[in-house]
Amino acid sequence: MTAPALLVLDFDGVVCDGMQEFFESSWRAWARTTGNALPAAHRPQLSERFANLRPVVESGWEMAMLPALLETRTPAYDHELEENWPKIRDAFLKDHGLAATALATALDTSRDEWTTADATGWLASHRFYPGIADWLRNLLAANQLVYVLSTKEKRFVDLLLHWQRVPLPPNQTIGKATPRRAKWTVIEELIERHDLPTDGEGVWFVEDRLETLRELRKDAPHLSKMRLFLATWGYVFPRDITKTRGESVTPLKLSEATAPLDTWPRSAPHAK
């Protein structure tokens, strides 16, 4: 397999692991939004459960309510959250009279305050997956066209890339948009910007959320030749890795991802 004309990477769960930061910022955001701090004594257990259930989350505002939701349920019910997250999430929001926009704003504000007061501590609450920073630096040095997509604010992504000395041009990091745009819409714009085939040929996308990849196949069938990879080292349920069979999605290990692009496992284009 030759290298792609365009490589697009999700950020959280593919490039960077911010689990510690996610939990702390979410904890602060909930208190900011509601005026009610969660019990400090419950932090260790809630943190572990939060990490286990992080794969259900698509947008940051969902994280801001997850610790509080877990506080209302025993661990025995976590499997229900895994199976029925949208329904339980929306009911919890309604019961508490909250809006997703308020939680999103509180999360960003908590992060901004943290980076202003203690930028070193905020950065240290993240880690880039082993080998990823070196791999990205090597790709850029070889003039590989790479974009990073994230549902968090671009300024936070840029801070983290700079911290790891990854010289990705600012116009090649794309953060949260308002109104929210599907990732496949962003990729479609990149294809047009770089004058690439409209069927997605030569474009590779690495994402750790299987449902996002499924939505792309469903909502953007015209990108039939785009190659999709599921990052198995990210925020992914083990069952989702086995579900890639027959989905025109290739599971990708971290050791494979950080190897030369021409050695990546073959991914069959989507059948029309």
Within a domain: 272: no
Same domain, 225 and 99: no
What CATH code is carried by the domain that includes residue 219? 3.40.50.1000
Based on the fold, state whether residues 77 and 168 are members of the same structural domain. no
Do 61 and 163 fall into the same domain? no
Total domains present in the chain: 2
Can you point out the beta strands (E) in the chain? 6-10, 16-17, 127-128, 146-149, 173-174, 203-207, 227-231, 250-252
| Structural domain range at position 32 | 19-123
pLDDT tens, residue by residue, 168-186 = 999 999 998 867 889 999 9
In tens, the pLDDT along 75-102 reads 999 999 999 999 999 999 999 999 999 9
Domain end position, chosen among 123, 146, 166: 123
Residue type, 197: P
Q: Is residue 146 part of a domain?
A: yes
Chosen domain end from 77, 95, 123? 123
> Residue 247's pLDDT is what?
80
Contact 78, 50 (CB under 8 A): no
Q: Let me know whether 68 and 196 are in one domain.
A: no
**In this structure, are 142 and 56 located in the same domain?**
no
1 part of a folded domain: no
The verdict on residue 184 lying in a domain is yes
Question: CA 7 → CA 19, 187, 201, distances in Å?
Answer: 25, 10, 11
Chosen domain end from 75, 106, 123: 123
Pairing of strands 6-10, 203-207: parallel
Long-range contacts of 78-85 (CB under 8 A, 24+ apart): 78/49, 78/52, 78/53, 81/53, 81/56, 82/53, 82/56, 82/237, 85/56
**3-state SS class at 271:** coil
Are 174 and 150 in contact by the 8 Å Cβ rule? The answer is yes
Residues 232, 251: contact at Cβ < 8 Å?
yes
Are residues 170 and 45 part of one domain?
no
Closest-CA residue to 111 (of 56, 152, 163): 152
**Residue 104 within any structural domain of the chain:** yes
pLDDT at 267 over 70: no
Are 93 and 126 in contact by the 8 Å Cβ rule? The answer is: no
Question: Would you say residue 268 lies in a domain?
Answer: no
Residue at 269 is within a domain: no
- Residues 236 and 163 grouped into a single domain: yes
Asked if the structure places residue 11 within a domain, the reply is yes
What digits encode the pLDDT tens for the residues 191-241? 999 999 999 999 999 999 999 999 999 999 999 999 999 999 999 999 899
- What pLDDT sits at residue 202? 96
